[in-house]
C-alpha cells in the first residue's frame, strides 16, 4: 500500500479523506507522531498549503499533501479568505467570526460567496496544487447546528438550506474540500 502523509492536525479532515482514498495508507500528522503546529504565515491559500506540505516533506522525504481553505465573499472583495479562521481575531472563534460576517454584510444585497480549498501535493519530483470551489450565498441569520465554521451561514447554490442545516452527505458530495480532494485522487490514479 502506498503511503501518503496528510499534513493536518484536523481529525475531521483525516476521517473524511480516508473514506475517499481507501487504497492509500493515509497517515495524519498525529499518526506519524508529529505534534508541532506549522505556522500558516503565507498570504494566500496556495502559499499556506505549499508551506505546510513542503515543511513536512523536508522532514520525512515521503509524498505529502496539505490543504488550506477559506470563505471568499464577493461584496467584501474576497475577505475573509486566507484569514477566515481568525476573521474576528485571536483566539479563533467560529461564533464570533459568523457574527462579524453578518455585521459586515448588514444591508448588503450582494451575498454571493464561495468556499475555496487549495491542496498542495509534494513528492521528490512533483509540486502540484489542486483547487476546489463551492459557490453559494450568505444567509441573513445563523441557521443549523451541523458542520463547523461558516457552515450555518453558507447556502450552497442549488439549495435553500445552509450547510449547517443540510445532511452531512450533501456537504461531502459538493464541498470545496471534496472537489479538491477528488482532483488529487484523479491525479494519483492516473499514475497507476
Ligand atoms: P482550514 O484551512 O480548512 O482550516 O480552514 C480555515 C477556516 O476557513 C476555518 O477555520 C473556517 O473558518 C473556514 N472554513 C474552511 N472550510 C470550511 C467549511 O467547510 N465550512 C465552514 N467553514 C470553513
Pocket test for ligand 1, best of 149, 163, 165 (most atoms within 8 A of CB): 149
DSSP string, 145-163: SSSSTTGGGEEETT-SS-T
Give the whole-angstrom CA distance, residue 16 versus residue 117: 14
Ligand 1 centroid to Cα of residue 67, in Å, is: 10
- Total of domains in the chain: 1
Span 127-146, pLDDT tens digits? 999 999 999 999 999 999 99
Q: Does the annotation mark 151 as catalytic?
A: no
Span 27-59, pLDDT tens digits? 999 999 999 989 899 999 999 999 999 999 999
Q: List % helix, strand, coil for the chain (3-state, nearest 5).
A: 35, 25, 40
Q: What is the largest distance, in Å, between two alpha-carbon atoms of the chain?
A: 54
**151 grid coordinates:** 457552515
Give the whole-angstrom CA distance, residue 16 versus residue 148: 14
Helix ranges restricted to H, 7-163: 11-20, 45-60, 94-104
pLDDT-derived band of residue 1, with 50, 70 and 90 as boundaries? low
Span 152-182, pLDDT tens digits? 999 999 999 999 999 989 998 999 999 999 9
List the domain range (segments joined by +) for residue 104. Answer: 2-190
For residue 183, what is the domain's CATH number?
A: 3.90.950.10
Amino acid at each position: 500500500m502506498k503511503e501518503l502523509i496528510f499534513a493536518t492536525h484536523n481529525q475531521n479532515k483525516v476521517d473524511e479523506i480516508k473514506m475517499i482514498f481507501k487504497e492509500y495508507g493515509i497517515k495524519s500528522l498525529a499518526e506519524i507522531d508529529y505534534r508541532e503546529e506549522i505556522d500558516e504565515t503565507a498570504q494566500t491559500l496556495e502559499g499556506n498549503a505549499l508551506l505546510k506540505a513542503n515543511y513536512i516533506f523536508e522532514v520525512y522525504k515521503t509524498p505529502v499533501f496539505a490543504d488550506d481553505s477559506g470563505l471568499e465573499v464577493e461584496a467584501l472583495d474576497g475577505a475573509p479568505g486566507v484569514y477566515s479562521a481568525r476573521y474576528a481575531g485571536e483566539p479563533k472563534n467560529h461564533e464570533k467570526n459568523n457574527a462579524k460576517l453578518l455585521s459586515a454584510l448588514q444591508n448588503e444585497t450582494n451575498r454571493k460567496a464561495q468556499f475555496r480549498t487549495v491542496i498542495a501535493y509534494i513528492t521528490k519530483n512533483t509540486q502540484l496544487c489542486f483547487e476546489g470551489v463551492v459557490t453559494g450565498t450568505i444567509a441573513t441569520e445563523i441557521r443549523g447546528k451541523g458542520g463547523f465554521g461558516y457552515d450555518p451561514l453558507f447556502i450552497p447554490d442549488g439549495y435553500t438550506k445552509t450547510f449547517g442545516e443540510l445532511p452531512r452527505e450533501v456537504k461531502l458530495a459538493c464541498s470545496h474540500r471534496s472537489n479538491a480532494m477528488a482532483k488529487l485522487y484523479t491525479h494519483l490514479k492516473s499514475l497507476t
